A and B are shown apart, each in its own frame.
Chain A
Amino acid sequence: MGNTAGKEARPRSNTYSSTSSTLNSYDINRRNTIFGNVNDYKKSRKQEERDRQREDHYSKLIVKYDQTVDGGYLAPFGTYKSNLDFNVDIVRELIIQRKLAPFYTPLQDFDDDWTEDELLKILSQLTLHSIEIAYDDEEIDDIDDHKIHKSSNFYKRQEQKMKLKLLMEKIKSLQKDEENKFFDIKLEGKDDNLPSKDLLLKLYKNPIECPICFLYYPNNLNLSRCCLQPICTECFVQIKRLDPHPPHDQQEQSQGNELPHTLISEPSNCPYCAMNDFGVIFEKDLDIKTGISGIKPGTYHNDLIHDPTQDNINEIKDDLKNLNIESSEVFSSSPSSSPLKASPIKSPTPASQKEESLREKRRRRSSIPANSPKVITIDQIRPDWELKLASAKSKLARKSAAASAIHASNLIINPSTDLAEYDTRRRNSNSNTRFQTIEDRMIEEALRLSIIDEEERVRRQGTPQSESSNNT
């Protein structure tokens, strides 16, 4: 959407100069310069705003030791270095509201034979973030790469790349600062923002392996809404719609000839059972409320809780009660028809028999519909998918409109075809008429979409709608 203003300014100033022949050239030039400056100014303001948003986005991916929820964090550990374009504000809010599991620091390995002291020693060595994996020097995934309207200007792109590189260096060094602070404070051992031993043991004593990243997490993860399989938040935020693409049957045959309105972007399926509209629920298997809107992590002690097992049972009883109330909205679908169902997913850690039977009970439940308020879907954390699809369609429409225009003008310039001949041919030949109709439709569609596009842009900028209608 970056170049819309520039494109629109050109025809406008042309019209102006051609119709107002009474103006002297000085005036015209002056006006053009003013228009140009205004547009440059607007453009650079827009660019600044985008840079600011990007910096804000990445700075919210920094893991901070004193921003915790139930022993986890508000930003990912850094297992993945791409697909970090989820809405950070929404995800942070969902974690704080306990609607999504926090980003827990994973254990790379786990052994049942470890003593509590051995486990605590390993836990004390964990860092906040896996800086080396996430920010290594190879190509960094730019969130702008997925934007439809990239700059066509190579140098500008290079400049953007440089800016991004600098930004990533800045973020990396901020994460390092945070890491050093965390390390020093751990040595001092006085800050109540650090988890107590009891909390650490409660979290990591019986961890479960996330079936997607194979890392060990506190048994307090999200569950898929359909088949109640665990998924860590870091893997969950990786799952997203594919970028807008033509429907499959057309994909191979019609390279580059896609009709804009046929572009699609489907919601993701559950990675475990392939049910559509993937979403998760978070039911807090561990009875902990520390960090933001809870007690200080350092003050968590086991004796504060009378009987954790009893709590757990009560919680699940409540849970089942809630489920009965909701049972009308629970639909019984059959994920078993999916070929993926066969993939073996099991927790390698033996839990106590009681917990096992409770979990078993829960497992036998039917799935929870995607529109239940408990369910967080992948679209909720990337709400811009509709905008991306609309903008992909309008870009494609503009491209085909431009191609059609070139095609049409080629026919006109062609010496063997004068305009009249072209016109009659267009009217007489069946195939040409059909072609022309498609062409007209495309141009119409392109215009329609670019109007929508512009309105969208104006709406997002918060400028009054009336201004955009003046433009067109």
Chain B
Amino acid sequence: MAALPKRIIKETERLISDPVPGITAYPDEANLRAFTVTMNGPDSSPYEKGIFDLELYLPDDYPMCPPKVRFLTKIYHPNIDKLGRICLDVLKDNWSPALQIRTILLSIQALLASPNPDDPLANDVADDWKKDEPKAIEVAKEWTAKYAKAKE
């Protein structure tokens, strides 16, 4: 494997030495560009008390290209589809090389706190959300309890 750029080494070190509250991110031993991430659902959101697994991968062109991030835990959210793909501008065209793994994970956590059904990725979920928000929130809570339980 090609040598790891200093930036990735430093980001990893800083993530571990100064972790983001409610988020853990560790590189895989076999591939230091691949991270296993857990994220606590934000308080007073339908995802509260849930612990979500994600995977994050830094492509060769990182930081000129955004990291690839995906939810592994099933989640009911208008901007996250069945495959766990996330619709978030900073993961696409609004990516900037000055952003970091840390800032991206914080943005995803913020997306959990404020779903945006007007810019959906999961159209069916977004439709539910727009038609009957309280009911959609109930479903999101149910899914959280069912799939994102804290591991004993």
B96 surroundings in chain A (CB, below 8 A):
269, 271-272, 274, 340
Q: Is B60 an interface residue (CB 8 A)?
A: yes
| B-contacting 9-mer, from A167-175, A209-217, A431-439, A459-467 | A209-217
Task: Provide the bound-state CA to CA distance between A108 and B110, in Å.
Answer: 33
Within B1-18, which residues are at the interface with A (CB < 8 Å)?
2-3, 5-7, 10-11
B-facing mask of A209-229, CB < 8 A → 1, else 0? 001111100000000000001
For B61, what are the chain A residues with a Cβ–Cβ distance below 8 Å?
82-83
Give the chain B neighbours of A340 by CB distance below 8 A: 96, 98-99
Residue B93, interface by CB 8 Å: yes
User: Which A residues, 322 to 356, have Cβ-Cβ distances below 8 Å to chain B?
Assistant: 339-340, 343, 345
Asked if A212 and B98 sit within 8 Å, CB to CB, the answer is yes
Instruction: State how many angstroms separate the Cβ of B65 from the closest Cβ of chain A.
Output: 10
B64 within 8 A of A: yes
Whether the Cβ atoms of A215 and B98 lie closer than 8 Å is: no
Q: Which B residues are in CB contact (< 8 Å) with A83?
A: 61, 64
Let me know if A319 is at the binding interface, CB within 8 A.
no
Residue of B nearest to A270 (CB): B96
Is B45 engaged at the interface, CB distance under 8 Å to the other chain?
A: no
A94 to B64, CA, bound (A): 23
Question: B98: which A residues are within 8 A, CB to CB?
Answer: 211-212, 229, 271-272, 340, 343, 345
| Chain A residue at minimal CB-CB distance from B92 | A248
Q: How far is the CA of A368 from the CA of B93 in the complex (A)?
A: 25
Interface size on A, as a range, is 20 to 34
- CA A340 – CA B96 in complex, angstroms? 8
* In the complex, per-residue mask of B38-80: 1 if CB is within 8 Å of any chain A CB, else 0: 0000000000000000000000110110000000000000000
How far apart are B94's CB and chain A's nearest CB, in angstroms?
7
Say yes or no for B97: interface residue by CB 8 A criterion: yes
Residues in chain B near residue A133, CB distance under 8 A: 2-3, 5
- Give chain B residues whose Cβ lies under 8 Å from the Cβ of A307: none
Q: Which residue of A lies closest to B94 (CB)?
A: A274
Scan B77-89; emit 1 where CB is below 8 A from any A CB, else 0: 0000000000000
A326 to B: closest C-beta gap in Å: 27
Q: Say yes or no: is A422 at the interface (Cβ < 8 Å to chain B).
A: no
Determine if A446 is an interface residue (Cβ-Cβ < 8 Å): no
Interface residues of B in 70-126 (CB under 8 A from A): 90, 93-94, 96-100, 103
User: What chain A residues lie within 8 Å of B94 (beta carbons)?
Assistant: 274
- Residues of B within 8 Å of A138, CB to CB, are 2
B71 to chain A, nearest CB (A): 20
**Closest approach, in angstroms, between the C-beta of B90 and any C-beta of chain A?**
8
Residues of B within 8 A of A213 (CB): 5-7, 63
> What residues on A are CB-neighbors of B10 within 8 Å?
214
Q: Quick one: closest A residue to B90, CB to CB?
A: A339
* Residue in A132, A239, A271, A272 with the greatest tally of chain B CB atoms within 10 Å: A271
Q: Judge whether A82 and B6 touch: CB under 8 Å.
A: no
Q: Which residues of A have CB within 8 Å of B60?
A: 82
Interface contact B6-A215, CB-CB below 8 Å:
yes
A238 & B97 in contact (Cβ 8 Å cutoff): yes
A136 CB–B CB distance under 8 Å: yes
Across the interface, name the chain B residue whose C-beta is closest to A278: B96
User: A44-70: contact bitstring with B at CB < 8 Å (1 yes, 0 no)?
Assistant: 000000000000000000000000000
Q: How far is the CA of A339 from the CA of B97 in the complex (A)?
A: 14
Q: Which residues of A contact B2 (CB under 8 A)?
A: 133, 136, 138
A35 at the interface (CB under 8 A from B): no
In the bound complex, residues from chain A placing their C-beta under 8 Å from that of B6 are 108, 213-215
Q: How far is the CA of A156 from the CA of B77 in the complex (A)?
A: 48
Interface residues of A in 75-105 (CB under 8 A from B): 79-80, 82-83
10 residue pairs of the A-B complex, CB under 8 angstroms, read A82-B60, A82-B61, A83-B64, A132-B3, A136-B3, A212-B97, A212-B98, A214-B7, A239-B97, A343-B98
Point out residues on B near A: beta carbons under 8 Å.
Answer: 2-3, 5-7, 10-11, 60-61, 63-64, 90, 93-94, 96-100, 103
Closest CB pairs A-B (n = 3): A271-B98, A271-B96, A214-B7
